[in-house]
Structure 1
Amino acid sequence: MLQILGYKVKESIEEREVNLFYYPIALMVQAPSPTDHSVSTLDGLIADINQFEAIANHWDDAQRATVSGLKRSIEALHREALVRLIRSVKQESMSALRQAIEDEVVYSVLRYHDLVKPPQPPLEYRLQQALEAVRPGLQSHSGDIELVAIKLPDTVEVRLTGTCSHCPAATLTLTDGVEQTIRRYCPEITRVVAVRNDVPNEATDDVAVSSCQSAASIDSGWLEVTSLAEVPIDRVLAMKLEGRSILLSRIESFESFKSGVVCYQNACSHLGVSLEDGAIESGVLVCPHHGFRYRLATGECLTSPEMPLQSYPVEVRDGQVFVKLWD
């Protein structure tokens, strides 16, 4: 019996008959049948794939090339079918499509075919991440930076403070450091404007209003998760929050996050499988299924940089950890 990605091919040598039946993704030659899951789980299905891939790894180059070619053809067929299915469902009911994507198996298959992207964190959060990334360099010269305003669709205003506010190289700092970092975290931002400390009073008033609005929104949407003492240092704690699986970790050596705690969706960006059992080596979380590597302090994917972990904002108040989720 020969099984190839997505299909089972059973060939009768005597009759030369080939029958195709849809099965979970698998690869095998004279191997036992996939585990019979009474209720199929994503981890169980992935375990079957890993088992069969391990067998295929022992084949010679010609056999693997043949299987890889057939795999690509079947994947192309599956992807086209999914594209047409999504197009039809979207016309009938977007809510039904969103509900379907909540299923971890559906989500992982659509992610595999690059038909759904992980939701982006809010723009303001990504901007703060960008500023946190440049802040250590500025602080080493007794300077700092703060976000003044977001002017959609493509502009942000920032203020250099401390020695950076009147440094002759401030323009170079803004262009070569801050702008590039902001655009890396927020590709939709194309203009970064430096606001001087000697701006007119009305601009200062605008900043004050913006600050008040931000302060008023701090408590909106924040959910208490656990105590800071329960969050492990340089390891992960898996939890459920509002029906979502999340990972928490305390990064002892990563000083730019004031809380010292990071939170991610408990899903590998590759196939959406859980990461809680992954090994952590030198601050890098390794997916236990296909080895994708993520920097625990930032969620950056070292295997495929365009596929970071989905992160959530975190605050620590009076020894309790709070997380803000978004759709």
Structure 2
Amino acid sequence: MGAKAQAEAIDALNAEAFRRLIRALKDKPGFGPALAEAAQDEVVYAVLRRHGILKPSLFERVEAALETVRPMLATHGGNAEVAAVEGNRADIRFLGACDGCPASQLTFYAGVKKAIQDQVPEITEVRQAKSLGGGGADTVHFTSPFANVPGGPWLTALTLKELPDGSTRFLELDGHAIILSRQGDQVTCFKNACAHMGLEMTDGDLANGILTCPYHGFRYALESGECLTAPEVQLQPHTVRVIGNRIEVRIQR
């Protein structure tokens, strides 16, 4: 059996094991709330989604709808991202040439808003968010799809000026060692601990958004936290939001 076939067989076996486990436990008292709580962990959620155990979140469905209009936006040198999904409202932010374009309102209503409301009828309000760092001090721009995951209080980490595009900072925040990184309009935050042995990576090599652990050479993409050396593990994320020019982090305990 080739390596690809073996990987597919293992993946199928894991999926069937999850399905049988869910069937065996679904009628147990408290199972539903327990599964929902466990799925708030990003890694657990990703694995259960991969195997079809959980349905796509509202955020993911809005993102999928937005993906259908991105080719049209790209022809004008622009793009768009989901800034926030809260209740029945989605906030969409234009990027690139679409940000501030005089025709952006027409593009928004004729393309983006229609696509989202056609494909995600639960979303009844679609708003255009200001670009990252714009707006007043109270303008909220969520940059993490897990911004509503329970955790500690929101803590101010840096300002956008202190984290320019393409930069990474290693900080101590509320007694926790973290890694803050910015790539364009995206800000990410991870626990400063290699997934291999939990060692801090402050002295690791950093190039093109890739951080290499100084101890055993594990390489991580700071845009996603993915481990390029061992794809089955990743950095532990902390949720991030940007309010005006202020970057705030919620530590996941």
TM range (shorter): 0.3 to 0.5
Return the index of the structure with the highest Cα Rg: 1
**What is the TM-score with the length of structure 1 in the denominator?**
0.37
- Greater length-normalized contact order (CA 8 Å, ≥ 6 residues apart): 2
Point out the structure with the larger helix share: 1
**What is the TM-score with the length of structure 2 in the denominator?**
0.47
